[in-house]
Structure 1
Amino acid sequence: MLDPQLAKMRLQRLADNVFALSLILLISNVELPAISSEPSASEINALLMANLPEMGVYLLTFAVIAANWVKHVELFSVMKHVDRSLMMQQLWLLAFLMLIPVTNQFINVDDSQTLILVVYSLNLLAVGVMLWLGWRRLANHPELRIEGLDIDKLQARSKDTLSEPLVAALSIVAALHSSLAWELTFVLIPILFAKRHHLEPLKKRLSKQ
């Protein structure tokens, strides 16, 4: 028998741990270059330039995971409790999330392969869609959300969550053109994220006036 309140608390705790572990695994993928005991300025510059692409992918992936964590916190801030279907859907979200450091490592190995770029984009697309489905379930099941939320605003919030999955889908098309076009596509994610309001007024924005 499922205790809805306990299930929400345990699921939220698990999600925070998975997000944290994903970030830890992400930084562990960054390999420190070998540096001589007394490197010259030219050697340091060469090492920095050689590792810029890897650091760029790291920062990009960090921004993606961080943006999804914020949206996940927002989701749970308006969630009253969970049912079995929502719990399983959230577990799928965490499963795809844990794959991000793996697909990120593939890019660090070889970012010139179109298939690797597409797999990474599909991974982000799956995470975004799973998060969107969580919002959709809250919109369609009032018993799962806190009282006083405006359904129209909640549905609008659900559509807003599709921004990152749409960027991921667009990046798949860009990857078929070039790796540079693929990278530039993800610049949209921090731009879209910057336009979001702060987390604290979320309930007020979704509440009935």
Structure 2
Amino acid sequence: MKREISGPQIHVNRLEALTDGVFAIAMTILVLSLEVPSRNQITSQSELVQNVMGKGYQFMSYFISFFVIGSIWISTIRRTHILRKTDYKHFWLNMLNLFFVTTIPFTTSLMGDYGEFEFAELLFHFNILVLEIIALVQWQNLINNRDLIREDAIDDANLIYYRKVYIFHVIVPLLGVAVSVFTPVWSNLVYLVIFFRVFFIRR
């Protein structure tokens, strides 16, 4: 079934394809935050092991960022999957969402290299916060414009549940901002609570 945007004939399917492509590229580029040591830095296997093991914080930052992007991608899929059609507000909010997705590799790399500095951590948290706020605004836009949603896609109970989920995801980076004031290096660990969302939000 072709789902369309009001006005020029831009199918939702094409929006989905663009979205998947941007997320895939961002998640792939993310690994570049893990820098391979140059040959002139390493003269023995023990030095190589020491160098790699010394990148523990960068690996942790990469791990968390990868699964945060994955969580945002799943959220984006959920919103586009229920669409019958879209409007320009949703379309451009989606484009804004993709813009901030492409900045995650940069803020992750900055955080991995300068995690001890509050600014680097705050920049990453604000990056995720903006993405989660956009997701919440998009969801609210769909709730306010039910004609955009397929009738068989979702019921009122699920709408309420997912609204809670989006609010929860906005709170998480705000918590990261608060923690970074006291301990910048470990503030990104707050995103691990996303994996335990089921304990915080009930249907």
> Which interval holds the TM-score relative to the shorter structure?
0.7 to 0.9
User: How far off is 1:77 after superposition?
Assistant: 1.5
From 15, 21, 26, the counterpart of 1:17: 21
Identity level (%): 20
Structure 1 consecutive aligned stretches of length 4 or more whose deviation exceeds 6 Å? 193-196
Deviation at 1:158, TM superposition (A): 2.0
Query: Which one-letter code corresponds to 2:118 in the other structure?
Result: T
The Cα shift of 1:121 comes to 0.2
| AA at the equivalent of 1:105 | S
2:81 and 2:199 map into 1 onto residues whose CA distance is 20
Partner of 1:39: 45
Letter in 2 for 1:61: S
Q: Distance in 1 between the 2:190 and 2:65 partners?
A: 13
> Quick one: structure 1 residues 97 and 45, their matched pair in 2 at CA, closer, same or farther if it must change by over 3 Å?
same
**1:104 — aligned with what?**
108
What per-residue deviation string (whole Å, max 9, x for no partner) do you get for residues 128-156 of structure 1?
Answer: 11112221111111110011332242132
The reply to whether residue 83 of structure 1 matches residue 87 of structure 2 is: yes
Displacement of 1:181: 4.2
Kindly indicate whether residue 135 of structure 2 is the aligned counterpart of residue 150 of structure 1. no
Alignment RMSD, CA only?
Answer: 2.4
Normalising by structure 2, we get a TM-score of 0.85
Query: What amino acid is the match of 1:113?
Result: F
Give the residue type in structure 2 aligned to 1:46: Q
CA contact (8 A) 1:139 1:151 kept: no
Tell me whether 1:136 sits opposite 2:140 in the alignment: yes
Of 148, 162, 165, which aligns to 2:167? 162
Instruction: Answer with 66-75 or 168-177: which moved more.
Output: 66-75
Match of 1:191 in 2: 196
Alignment partner of 2:11: what SS?
Answer: helix
- Distance in 1 (CA, whole Å) between partners of 2:48 and 2:123 is 33
Distance (Å, rounded) in 2 between the aligned partners of 1:51 and 1:115: 20
Asked whether 1:179 is paired with 2:151, we answer: no
Q: What is the aligned counterpart of 1:58 among 51, 55, 62?
A: 62
Mapped partners of 2:140, 2:160: distance in 1: 7
Looking at structure 2, the residues matched to 90 and 22 of structure 1 have their Cα atoms a distance apart, in angstroms, of 15
- Distance in 2, Cα, partners of 1:33 & 1:63: 25
Secondary structure, counterpart of 2:36 in structure 1: coil
Q: Which runs of 5+ in 2 are unaligned?
A: 1-5
